[in-house]
Amino acid sequence: MINVTKTFLPPQNEYQAILKEAWDAGWMTNRGVLVKELEARLKDYLEVQDIIAMTNGTLPLQIAIKALGLQGEIITTPFSYVATTSSIVWEGCTPVFVDIHSEYLTIDETKIEAAITAETSAILATHVFGNPCDVEAIEQIAKKHHLKVIYDAAHCFGVRYKGQSVFNYGDVSTCSFHATKLFHTGEGGALFCKPELRDEMYYHHNLGHDGPDVFRSLGINAKMSELQSAMGLAVLPYVDTIVQQRREAVDYYKTLVDALPLKTIELREHTQWNYSYYPVIFKNEIKLLQVKMALEQVDIYPRRYFYPSLNQLPYVKDGNCPISETVASSIMCLPLWAGITKSDIKTICKIIKTSI
């Protein structure tokens, strides 16, 4: 069986050796030594301004919306994972969808201003498959209209744009450390923000605590456990190797896919990519479904990612996003992970060629 991804697992003895520190201390959660060590090491590795480790990648989005005091409308992308939109709705705000670039697949910054109203409080955009948005243009729009900016950077571990971490852009960025990601803590995530915002974000993720006996305001439990942190600390030394192996796989995919009637994502200039996914776009949904069925018949499982276009979710007001709807219906991520073989990639591309 070949799945769309495969979780990287560090040597079990290395994970257990790190976990033993928490075991010996009898401290499993509530920001033990391993959480603090992971945050410190990630801050250095990623070269970010500040980081708060959390128990998954969705809670940082919800906390950012809450902590920034956002209300009314939030301009967002229809081409992302459902957590981007559901977080907006969950926090009592209204998503306003702006269509995407057909090449970059990120929100089309040239269409944002037309969607701004007196009710708009923020822009929540996604760096799609690790491909950055036009962060400079979005920053200019946000400053002009006094809006906050949140980036869903779930796929962006290690991505750099114009020489710095993509997590340093916007008021807040978020990342997923889910087991399917190239860096993971089993289940987990993080919030990145400017240092002046850290205190506000921190107490919201810790049930509103301001010290052990004082509650500053409303909060939620988003703390990462020591077990999750131990996994992150065990995986981190291997990240460079993971990215290199994924790069080699993507380079080999390209040599085969270039000969097929498929379109691939265009990376924004000045991007140092992390090879987090390998999406291909078919001529139409019919072709996609033909290929998907052919692959699944031999136990190869790609993924329709992202599908559907989020403006078509049942709990939002359907906006007019024809590019996103077209792309969402015809895009599919091919299997990719550190260690996938050239033989497997060749088999996948051969089946695509014969069934497209």
CATH number at residue 342: 3.90.1150.10
110 domain residue, yes or no = yes
Give the mean model confidence (pLDDT) for residues 211-231. Answer: 89
Residues 83 and 205 in one domain: yes
Residues 129 and 184 in one domain: yes
38 domain residue, yes or no = yes
Grouping H, G, I as helix, E, B as strand and the rest as coil, residue 270 is coil
Q: What mean pLDDT value characterizes the chain?
A: 96
Residues 231 and 111 in one domain: yes
Q: Give the number of other Cβ atoms within 10 Å of residue 137's Cβ.
A: 14
Short-list 333, 329, 254, 323, CA closest to 106: 323
205 domain residue, yes or no = yes
| pLDDT cut 90: percent of the chain above it | 94
CATH number at residue 233: 3.40.640.10
102: CB partners within 8 A, 6+ apart: 323, 326, 327
Side chain identity, residue 61: L
Q: Rounded CA gap, 167 and 246, in Å?
A: 21
pTM over the 0.75 mark? yes
Q: Rounded CA gap, 355 and 213, in Å?
A: 64
Residues 144 and 169 in one domain: yes
Domains held by the chain: number: 2
Residues 233 and 244 in one domain: no
Q: What is the DSSP letter of 265?
A: P
Higher pLDDT, 320 or 324: 324
Residue with tokens 């097929």: 260
Alpha helices in 91-225 (DSSP H): 135-145, 198-205
**What is the model's pLDDT at position 317?**
87
pLDDT band, very low/low/confident/very high, at 179 (cuts 50, 70, 90): very high
Residues 252 and 299 in one domain: yes
Short-list 157, 129, 63, CA closest to 303: 129
**What is the model's pLDDT at position 22?**
93
Q: Rounded CA gap, 251 and 126, in Å?
A: 25
**What is the model's pLDDT at position 212?**
76
State yes or no: pLDDT of 251 exceeds 80: yes
Grouping H, G, I as helix, E, B as strand and the rest as coil, residue 164 is strand
pLDDT tens column, 271-317: 999 999 999 999 999 999 999 999 999 999 999 999 999 999 999 98
| pLDDT cut 70: percent of the chain above it | 100
Range of the domain at 312: 239-355
Q: Rounded CA gap, 213 and 204, in Å?
A: 15
Residues 228 and 342 in one domain: no
Residues 203 and 281 in one domain: no
pLDDT band, very low/low/confident/very high, at 75 (cuts 50, 70, 90): very high
Q: Rounded CA gap, 89 and 74, in Å?
A: 10
State yes or no: pLDDT of 207 exceeds 90: no
3 domain residue, yes or no = no
| Last-in-domain residue among 217, 237, 257 | 237
Residue with tokens 């852009």: 169
**What is the model's pLDDT at position 319?**
83
70 domain residue, yes or no = yes
Residues 232 and 250 in one domain: no
Length of the chain counted residue by residue? 356
| Last-in-domain residue among 174, 209, 237 | 237
State yes or no: pLDDT of 248 exceeds 90: yes
**What is the model's pLDDT at position 211?**
72
Residues 213 and 244 in one domain: no
| Last-in-domain residue among 187, 202, 237 | 237
Give the mean model confidence (pLDDT) for residues 257-269. Answer: 96
Residues 285 and 173 in one domain: no
2 domain residue, yes or no = no
1 domain residue, yes or no = no
Short-list 97, 64, 313, CA closest to 175: 64
304 domain residue, yes or no = yes
pLDDT tens column, 2-43: 999 999 999 999 999 999 999 999 999 989 999 999 999 999
Residues 262 and 226 in one domain: no
pLDDT tens column, 96-123: 999 999 999 999 999 999 999 999 999 9
